[in-house]
Amino acid sequence: SCEHPKHDEYKNQSKNTKKKSSKLNLKKVPKRLIEVLELNESSEICSMCRNKTDKDSEYLQNEKYKAPIPIKKNNLNDNDNLQDESIETIQDELIEAIQDESIEVIQNESIETKQIKTCQHPKHDEYLNQSKNTSKQFSLQKVPTRLIKVLELDELAMICSMCKKKTDKDSQYLQTEEYKAPISRKNNNDNISKIGNHTYLFRKDILYTGEELQQFESDYQEIMTQLKISSEIKLSSKIIKMSNILYNNQHRLNLKPIYDPIAFKTMLETADKDLIGFFDELYAGTNPNTKSETTNNNNKKKLVSLCYFLASINNKYINGIKVDIGSYLETSGASSSSIDTLANIGVSVTRKTVNRKKNFISNEHQQTVDNYCLQNIENMFILNIDDYHNIHRRNQPTLLQTHNIYHFELILD
């Protein structure tokens, strides 16, 4: 008896009632199905169950399942090493498998050739009925790469010349996103000529006049310009990259703002290759050709400040230049309200931020001087000039001038 776990179920589903009543041919379970059916090597199953197993979705989804290997009929005659008994066994299995439609039998080359000679275009019959000459034989060719996705065919599919032409006129395909129009070729026989002693060759056997060649060159340059523009980084992306660099310099490396245009440009281009030429583009926008060298140098300094302000708009914590402006205003005697007003505009920081910065500088002053002296100890001269005869004087407090002491100097050179 068949030891297949679903033998009874397959038997009830079978349409071949004659085969139901007859005895089924029992054979050892194939090695590829032993683990799938959870049987041992000596177990036997009938041909019906073996064939049904290769169609059962329950077993097909099993990781241990292995599909049968297709066998060519011609190989039975080509292999001289097979014994007569093994050949008969294989032939019986093939005939039985063909009857139950369990495996794919590969036919002779002549049959394959006949299958290829049919157009595989999905609307071939429809186009053929629309054609006036239905008896005409159309040449077959591989489906163009641009039409593979549109027609939902594979790369080896063959379509006829009629279907290829009809496809490029069919509104159903023209409206699809995947459709790509064929590239038109110029072939004007009237324009085939020599220009002086020279001929212009383009593609295989097509000659172009000078005007056509110039038009082609113009179209080519236009396409290359569009490709170059599409590959360039957007201005917004460059500002974001610049902001990240300036934030890293201020808050991680504790560096002061750079106001020298050349040093600022070098710093950006060294930190990120995508910013090469960014500062030059901004400078070109100032129309430098019509201005003097002094004006251009001042404009470069203004562009550095502009870059810092653009970065601060992107990230409010990039405020090094605003702190310097606020400190300068406070030292110059500007009132708290005026500094706060400029802070609201976005030019400076608030008076509170300036005071915090001053306290920080005051606390770090001694350490800053010590570090400076240690770094330059070999090149330092300390001169102390004492002259007390006129050190005392009356001073009136003012917001515009700091306290001065005459004839008392400490020089660090």
Instruction: Report the predicted TM-score, pTM, of the whole model to 2 decimal places.
Output: 0.39
pLDDT at 193 over 50: no
The whole domain housing 254 covers: 235-373
Tell me, what's the pLDDT at 390? 53
Reference 235, options 153, 314, 339, 300; nearest CA is: 314
Model confidence band, residue 397 (pLDDT cutoffs 50, 70, 90): low
- For the cut 90, the answer to whether the pLDDT of residue 9 exceeds it is no
Could you tell me if 209 and 315 lie in one domain?
A: no
pLDDT higher than 60, residue 375: yes
What is the rounded average pLDDT of the residues 229-257?
85
Q: Does residue 51 register a pLDDT over 90? A: no
Per-residue pLDDT at 410 = 47
Q: What is the pLDDT of residue 365?
A: 83
Q: Are residues 386 and 355 in the same domain?
A: no
pLDDT at residue 299, rounded to an integer: 92
240 and 299 co-located in one domain: yes
Q: What is the dihedral angle through the alpha carbons of 104, 109, 111, 112, rounded to the nearest 10 degrees?
A: 70
Alpha-carbon distance 338 to 323, whole Å?
A: 15
Same domain, 169 and 290: no
Q: Which amino acid is located at 405 in the chain?
A: I
pLDDT given for residue 63 in this prediction: 82
d(CA 118, CA 39): 46
Question: pLDDT tens-digit profile of 127-141?
Answer: 888 887 777 777 888
Owner of token pair 């077959």 = 140
Rama region for 395: left / alpha / beta (φ>0; ψ in -120 to 50; rest):
beta
What are the pLDDT digits (tens) for 264-306? 999 999 998 888 888 999 999 989 999 999 999 999 999 999 9
Question: What is the rounded radius of gyration, in angstroms, for the C-alpha atoms of the chain?
Answer: 44
Distance, C-alpha 363 to centroid of its chain: 51
Q: 359 and 265, same structural domain?
A: yes
Residue 381's pLDDT is 74
Residue 2 lies in a domain: no
Judged by phi (left if over 0) then psi (alpha if -120 to 50, else beta), residue 308 lies in alpha
Per-residue model confidence (pLDDT) at position 404: 53
Averaged pLDDT of the chain? 76
Q: Are residues 99 and 137 in the same domain?
A: no
Residue 192: both structure tokens together:
């085939």
Work out the burial of residue 243: count CB atoms within 10 Å of its CB; fewer than 13 is exposed, 13-18 middle, 19 or more buried.
buried
How many folded domains does the chain comprise? 5
Model confidence at 66: pLDDT above 50: yes
How many other CB atoms sit within 10 Å of the CB of residue 182?
Answer: 12
Q: State whether 81 and 195 are in the same domain.
A: no
411 backbone dihedrals φ, ψ, rounded to 5°: -110, 125
212: its two tokens = 């056509």
Separation in Å, CA 324 to CA 252, 402, 407, 408 = 19, 19, 31, 30
Looking at per-residue pLDDT, the higher value among 184 and 205 belongs to 184
Q: Is the same domain home to 160 and 255?
A: no
Higher pLDDT, 355 or 1: 355
**Whether residues 220 and 309 fall in one domain:** no
- 34 and 92 in a single domain? The answer is yes
- Flag whether 253 is in a domain: yes
Q: What is the percent of the chain where pLDDT is above 90?
A: 12
Closest CA to 285 of 299, 268, 266: 299
DSSP-derived secondary structure for 7-49: HHHHHHH-S-HHHHHSPPPEEEPPHHHHHHHT--TT-EEEHHH
As a whole number, mean pLDDT of residues 250-255 equals 89
360 and 250 share one domain = yes
pLDDT at 203: 54
**Of the segments 61-75, 88-102, 105-119, 395-409, which one has the largest average pLDDT value?**
61-75
User: Is residue 12 in a domain?
Assistant: yes
Say which range, 25-34, 58-67, 184-193, 204-213, has the weakest mean pLDDT.
Answer: 184-193
pLDDT reported for residue 132 = 77
pLDDT tens profile 129-181:
888 777 777 788 888 988 988 888 888 888 988 898 889 888 888 888 888 88
Query: For position 408, what pLDDT does the model report?
Result: 45
Q: Mean pLDDT lowest for which of 96-100, 327-331, 353-357, 395-399? A: 96-100
